[in-house]
Amino acid sequence: MAVIVQKYGGSSVADAQKIMNVARRVAETTAGGHRLVVVVSAMGKTTDSLVALAHQITPTPDPRETDMLLATGEQVTIALLAMALHSLGFKARSFTGAQVGLVTDAAHTKARIRRIGGERVRAALEAGEIVIVAGFQGVSPDNEITTLGRGGSDLTGVALAVALPADVCEIYTDVDGVYTADPNVVPDARKLPRISYDEMLEMASLGAKVLQSRSVEFAKKYGVPVHVRSTFKADPGTLVTREDSGMEEAVVTSVTHDRNQAKVSILRVPDRPGVAAQVFGAVADQNIVVDMIVQNISRDGFTDMSFTLPRGDRARSVAALEDVARRVGAEGVQFNDRVAKISIVGVGMRSHSGVAARMFAVLSKEGVNIQMISTSEIAVSCVVDDKYAELAVRALHEAFELGRER
C-alpha cells in the first residue's frame, strides 16, 4: 500500500465544481488502496485578488501581514475539499501549514523550509483519513504564519513526500506532462515519459513553466519521484526521477524557449577588479534576478558585459546601470526587449561532444543570428531576435529528432 502525495494547483480548484472533480479524482486513487495526502493551492486567482486588496490599502504591504493575508487562500480550499470528500462518503481532514508542522525560517513571503513534523499527517493517515494540506504556507519558530513564495505549493507537496515519506509526489496541472518542446510551437512535440531531475531543473530555469525549480531541487536532494500529470486526463504524465541508463541514449531531450527576456549591455567597461561586482551589485540592489551573463574578452583594458533578465525588470535595471556606468567610466548602456532565449537540454550532453556546434549550425542554416551563448553541463542556450523564436525551436526539434518515439 503506497503513500501518495498529490498536489493540485489553483486552476484545478478554481470553483466548487472543480473542487468536486478533484475530490472524485482523489477518491479514485484511494480506491487503489493507497494512502493519500493532498496539497492544494488557493482557488483560481484568489492570491492575486488578495494582493490587489492589500494594494488598495498600501503600495508597500508589510511582508509579515502579507503572509497573514495570503495564507487564507489555501485555507479556504482545504476546508472545501475536505467537505467535498465527506460528501462522497470519505473520511478526510484538512490541515494548515502550521498544523502539519511545516516549519520555515522567518523570511516572510519567501520563507525556506527548515523541517516538517508531519505527526498529525501520519496520525490521520493511520486513522484511515485522506489528509488535505494547505500548500504554500508554513510557520516560523516564533509561530508566525509564513509563505514559501510563488509556486510554493509544489514545494509543500515535495517536502511532505520527503517527510512522510511518500512513494511519489504527483503534481496535477493543466498540462499533461513535460514535452520535448512547447506543443503550441512544435506540433509534433512529444510527451516525455521520464526525465531526470537535472534536465527538469534546466528546463524550469530555461522557460518551461511546468514545475517550480525549488521543488525540483528539493525532490532531487531527497530522491523523491515527481509525477507531473493532468488534472483533467487519466493518462500518465512525465516522471521526474533520478537519471537511469535509458535516459542517456538521447543526447538532447528537449528544446525550451523563453520569450519573456530582455538583453542589457554595458559597453566599454574598464576591465579592473571589482567592476563586475559594482555592475551586478547595482542590479541585485533592485531585487532583480539576472539570468545569462556574458563578458567578452578584454581589448585595450575595456570589455563589454551583457546579460538577460525578465523583461518587466528591464527599465529599472537600465536606470540603475546608467548610474553605475557613469561611476565606473563605461561608455554607456544598451538594451533590447525583443529577444528570446532558445535552449537545448539533455543529460546525454555530458558524454557527447559537438552538440553545441550542431545547434549553432542548425540556427545558422535557418539564417538566425546568435546574440549571446551560454552553456551548462547539460544545456546550451542562445539568445536570438524574438522574431526567430518559433522558427528556431521548430528547427532544433526536428534536427535533434525529438518528435521520434524512442
Residue 186 and residue 241 in contact, taking contact as beta carbons nearer than 8 Å:
no
> Taking phi first (over 0 means left), then psi (-120 to 50 degrees means alpha), and beta for anything else, what does residue 126 get?
alpha
For the beta carbon of residue 141, count every other beta carbon within 10 angstroms: 11
Residue 174 Cβ, how far from a copy of itself at the closest point, in Å?
22
Query: CB-wise, 45 or 209, nearer to a copy of itself?
Result: 45
Query: CB-wise, 137 or 238, nearer to a copy of itself?
Result: 137
Measured CA to CA, the distance from residue 317 to residue 304 in angstroms comes to 16
Residues that bind a copy of itself (CB under 8 A): 16, 19-20, 50, 53-54, 56-58, 61-62, 64-66, 68-69, 71-72, 75-76, 78-80, 82-84, 86-87, 93-94, 96, 98-99, 143, 145
Query: CB-wise, 118 or 207, nearer to a copy of itself?
Result: 118
Cα three-residue angle 115-121-122, rounded to 5 degrees: 100
Query: CB-wise, 137 or 256, nearer to a copy of itself?
Result: 137
Residue 122 Cβ, how far from a copy of itself at the closest point, in Å?
15
Please report the DSSP string for 342-386 in residue order: EEEE-GGGGG-SSHHHHHHHHHHHTTPPEEEEEEETTEEEEEEEG
User: Torsions phi, psi of 123, nearest 5?
Assistant: -65, -40
Residue 49 Cβ, how far from a copy of itself at the closest point, in Å?
10
Residue 166 Cβ, how far from a copy of itself at the closest point, in Å?
23
Who's near 51: CB < 8 A, 6+ residues apart?
Answer: 66, 70
Query: CB-wise, 60 or 351, nearer to a copy of itself?
Result: 60
Query: CB-wise, 54 or 276, nearer to a copy of itself?
Result: 54
Q: Which residue has the cell 535533434?
A: 400
Residue 290 DSSP symbol: P
Cis peptide before 165 (omega within 30 of 0): yes
Residue 83 Cβ, how far from a copy of itself at the closest point, in Å?
5
Query: CB-wise, 69 or 389, nearer to a copy of itself?
Result: 69
Residue 72 Cβ, how far from a copy of itself at the closest point, in Å?
4
Query: CB-wise, 129 or 291, nearer to a copy of itself?
Result: 129
CA 76 to chain centre: 24
For the beta carbon of residue 374, count every other beta carbon within 10 angstroms: 17
Q: Furthest-apart CA pair in the chain: how many Å?
A: 77
Residue 38 Cβ, how far from a copy of itself at the closest point, in Å?
14
Query: CB-wise, 78 or 380, nearer to a copy of itself?
Result: 78
Q: Identify the CA nearest to 334 among candidates 272, 240, 269, 246.
A: 269
Residue 315 Cβ, how far from a copy of itself at the closest point, in Å?
25
What would the grid cell of residue 192 be? Answer: 516525455
Query: CB-wise, 88 or 361, nearer to a copy of itself?
Result: 88
The β-bridge partners of 333 are: 266
What would the grid cell of residue 62 be? Answer: 508589510
Burial of 377 (C-beta count, 10 Å sphere; 0-12/13-18/19+) = exposed
